[in-house]
Chain A
Amino acid sequence: MTSSAVDRVAKFVDDLLQGRRPRRFKASQEEAEAMAAAAGLVAARAGADLPDKAALDRIHRRLSDRLDESPRIDSRFTRRVWLRTLGTAAAAAAVGVVLDEVLTHQSSPGPAVTEEAVLTPDGGQWRPVAAVTQIPEGHAMPVSTGSLDAIVVNDGGQISAVSGTCTHMGCKLQPDDADKRLTCPCHQTAFAWSGKVLYYRLKSAPASLPRIESRVRDGQVELFIV
């Protein structure tokens, strides 16, 4: 037993008791055993090992997104089908708007990696991705549509969306609502809700996140996507 082992385990326990995800580190066998025992004790607190509803919703949403790509799975109830159905209806109802949007965006910067880039996919359509009520003010929510990952942001009542994929190596960004940023789990790059790079530890600055056109219709947030 070394003092650093004692301290590392103490830090691990602190993280668990504060409800934080502990950092990774290389643990000795005896540290790992102590840590596993700590995890068991934390779980023993009343109700601690039960997931909250938000966690269940997130898991369900991600399963829907991922399993829908598998032809083995009955996909009648998955979200992408729901999106497709609603998306088509919405697009048909608003065909004029869609055309306007397409024309407007022809002059947008081409590649999606330039500053202030707007993603304008060929054959894009307005597709609902979430109910407005799912994204309260000050909240950013990742959505996955089958063709792309996006993050829908509600900044002071203003809904906007950016790509949910880090422009460096393509890791999925995670919202950090407290700091109004989107962070990359792979290399700690942080983006503002606008898509602007706030922080990076790379040799050169990564590109801003492409913005995705968004609007609200009938209580649904819609993105202009394929």
Chain B
Amino acid sequence: MGLIAFGAGGVPDPEIANEPQTSIYTDWESVYRDNIVGIYQLAFRRVGNAADAEDLAEDVLIRTLKTLRFPAPVHNVRAYLVKTAKTVLADHWRNHYAAQNVALELEQLPPEGLAGPSSSVASDRAERVLALLPDQFRRVLELRFLKGYSVREVAHELGVTESNARVLQFRALRKAAELEGEVLG
């Protein structure tokens, strides 16, 4: 049986620490079962909302599965899923927000499949970024994103106007984006 060929350029060969039971996928159900949660998480981290993450995860799976021929080696499939996710997410940002160069460095899929980790990747990264931010920026983002304060409540807490709070939020996010590049780099 022919294995998958992913076209020119080849596929990175990630080291999988803990592969699912079998190293060959023989049907789409097992690709789905092992990877859907990881793909959803990758998507969620780049869009921040469940509705888009669901659509994008489905899109990544469908595009990958339509190209695959079974049986297919697990590590190839997973690498291809990540590669497809990158394309799908870049398209999403371009089509929804006309954004060309949003940083989309995607980590490899967690190897554990459905029993996968919670949001530890996202929270580790956020923690590192927050720790590097100047005090006031960190405060705004912590109140808003971790404690769920509204802009009005943030303004009250910091003793600034609401429009100032919005500006602070914008600048803090810009700075966080910059730092995220460094943290990842």
Contacts and interface: CB of A to CB of B under 8 A. Distances in A.
Interface in B93-121: 93, 95-103, 118-119
> Which size bracket describes the interface of B in this complex?
35 or more
Interface string A26-55: 110111111111111111111111111001
Contacts of B127: 44
Contact of A9 (B68, B93, B169, B176): B169
A94 interface: no
Contacts of B68: 72
A145 B107 CA distance: 37
Contact of B103 (A22, A36, A41, A58): A36
Nearest to B101: A29
A177 interface: no
Interface in A7-32: 7, 9-10, 13-17, 19-22, 24-27, 29-32
> Which size bracket describes the interface of A in this complex?
35 or more
A62 B36 CA distance: 13
A48 B119 contact: yes
Interface string B28-50: 11001000110011001111111
B132 interface: no
A22 B177 contact: no
B139 interface: no
Contact of A30 (B103, B148, B166, B174): B174
B177 A44 contact: no
Interface of A: 1, 3, 5-7, 9-10, 13-17, 19-22, 24-27, 29-52, 55-56, 58-60, 62-63, 66-67, 70, 72-74, 76-77
B27 A9 contact: no
A36 B177 contact: yes
Contacts of A43: 41, 44-45, 48, 119, 122, 126
A76 B26 CA distance: 12
Contacts of A30: 174
A58 B54 contact: yes
Nearest to A56: B36
Contacts of A77: 27, 29
A10 B66 contact: no
Interface of B: 26-29, 32, 36-37, 40-41, 44-54, 57-58, 61-62, 65-66, 68-70, 93, 95-103, 118-119, 122-123, 125-127, 129, 141, 144-146, 148, 151, 163, 166-167, 169-171, 173-174, 176-178, 180
B37 A40 contact: no
B48 A39 contact: yes
A67 B49 contact: no
Contacts of B26: 74
Contact of B28 (A24, A58, A73): A73
A37 B177 contact: yes
27 contacts: A6-B167, A9-B170, A22-B52, A27-B98, A29-B99, A30-B174, A36-B46, A36-B93, A36-B103, A37-B129, A37-B174, A38-B145, A42-B49, A43-B119, A43-B122, A45-B119, A47-B118, A48-B44, A51-B36, A51-B54, A55-B54, A58-B54, A59-B61, A63-B28, A63-B61, A72-B70, A74-B27
B174 A39 contact: no
Contacts of A47: 118-119
A208 B28 CA distance: 37
A61 B79 CA distance: 24
A34 B177 contact: yes
A66 to B, nearest CB: 6
Contacts of A62: 58, 62
